[in-house]
Structure 1
Amino acid sequence: MNREDNMRANEYYMPTDWRIKGDIREVYEVCSNFKDYQRWWPEVYLDIQTAGTDKETGNEVYALLTRGKLPYKLRWQSCKTAENVPHSLSLKASGDLAGHGTWKFEQDGEYVNVRFDWYVNADKPLLKWLSPVMKPIFRSNHYWAMGKGLASLERELERRHRDIR
């Protein structure tokens, strides 16, 4: 039985694995700075604004406008819930996407293995309604966005190294 067999139609578990040449601290620094996603991951993060402080964690909340390959946008909020620098970072989401995710980072020689486990409900009305039949397409949209994220992270690390020289 797979993990999704017990999920409602609008619930998603979408793990992503990246392997990128670099230093764990630098990769962690880029991935943990949510406010900067709009600059280095612009294909997906269209707008990011600070939106106050989370009552549970005391951490900064960000209002996000994101998109994937499909022609719709998502409005949601996110904040960090736990950090173990530079090994892991957890977050929660609410709005059109509601749930939680965890980034994990592991140095492996000259590479960093990055894992993002995303447990989210598609609560945007159109997505919630269409999830029973469109789930594979919505999942594919997420993986398109994450593919853009890996390419964008590689460019960001190259830019940082170029700027140092």
Structure 2
Amino acid sequence: MGSADYDFRTVWRVAGRPDEVADVLGDATAFPRWWPSVYLGADPAAGALDATAPGLPRPVALHTKGWLPYTLRWTLTVTEPVTDHGFALTAAGDLNGTGRWTFEQDGPETVITYRWRVRAAKPLLRRLSWLLKPAFAANHHWAMARGEESLALELRRRRHHDHPEAVPPPPPSTFRRLARLLETGRLHNE
């Protein structure tokens, strides 16, 4: 494995059924609403409607960040139908590779496993991975921990749809001002 290659395995455990988890994780366009600490933007990818295979969601252009103050732009394409057993995806852009979500019922909880194999293509990450790979990996682990927390809250919110205010909001983005500047492109003009 090269210095810009990353291979992560993340395991989450949340209260809920696999079909509920699949409904949430299978809709990448909703990530900024319930996982705002990581997902700054999610829009259907331009020109992707014609290339989408039947039964698969349209690819989504994502703008993401972790704890560290840099952002990534990449397109998530689901490559297998989203089921209550999981699904597979590809990433293209600042990250290139594959991911696989699997869901398994364990009593009242679902065990979620995510295998993420990517190569950093963003010049900053690619050039500095040889030196900062542990920091970049820690950034990924931080983002995934926020994901588990945010998913658990989203599942609770869906169950309490009559009183969503009874569920706390998801954790916010770090460096919110910097993230807004990066998102709008104003940082490069200041």
Taking structure 2 as the reference length, the TM-score comes to 0.80
Query: Which residue of structure 2 lines up, in the alignment, with residue 16 of structure 1?
Result: 10
Equivalents in 1 of 2:131, 2:72: separation in Å? 19
Q: Deviations over 1:133-156 (max 9, x none)?
A: 111110110010000001100110
Query: What value does the CA root-mean-square deviation take over the aligned residues?
Result: 1.5
Equivalents in 2 of 1:163, 1:103: separation in Å? 26
Q: Deviations over 1:2-51 (max 9, x none)?
A: xxxxx010000011000111111111111111111111001100011111
Query: Which residue of structure 2 lines up, in the alignment, with residue 110 of structure 1?
Result: 108
Helix, strand or coil: the match of 1:9?
Answer: coil
Structure 1 unmatched ranges of 5 or more: 1-6
Deviation at 1:83, TM superposition (A): 2.3
Structure 1 stretch displaced more, 155-164 or 50-59: 50-59
Considering fraction of residues, name the structure with more strand.
1
May I ask how many residue pairs the two structures share in their alignment? Answer: 159
For residue 88 of structure 2, the aligned residue among 90, 105, 110 is 90
User: Where do residues 8-157 of structure 1 align in structure 2 (5 Å cutoff)?
Assistant: 8-51=2-45, 52-53=47-48, 55=51, 57=53, 59=56, 60-83=58-81, 85-157=83-155
Equivalents in 1 of 2:60, 2:155: separation in Å? 23
4+ residue segments displaced more than 3 Å:
54-59
Matched letter for residue 48 of structure 2: T
Asked if 1 retains the 8 angstrom alpha-carbon contact of 2:10 and 2:113, the reply is yes
Matched letter for residue 38 of structure 1: P
Equivalents in 2 of 1:98, 1:88: separation in Å? 20
Deviation at 1:71, TM superposition (A): 0.6
Deviation at 1:61, TM superposition (A): 1.5
Equivalents in 1 of 2:74, 2:134: separation in Å? 21
Deviation at 1:164, TM superposition (A): 4.9
Structure 2 unmatched ranges of 5 or more: 164-190
Helix, strand or coil: the match of 2:36?
Answer: coil
Query: Which residue of structure 2 lines up, in the alignment, with residue 4 of structure 1?
Result: none
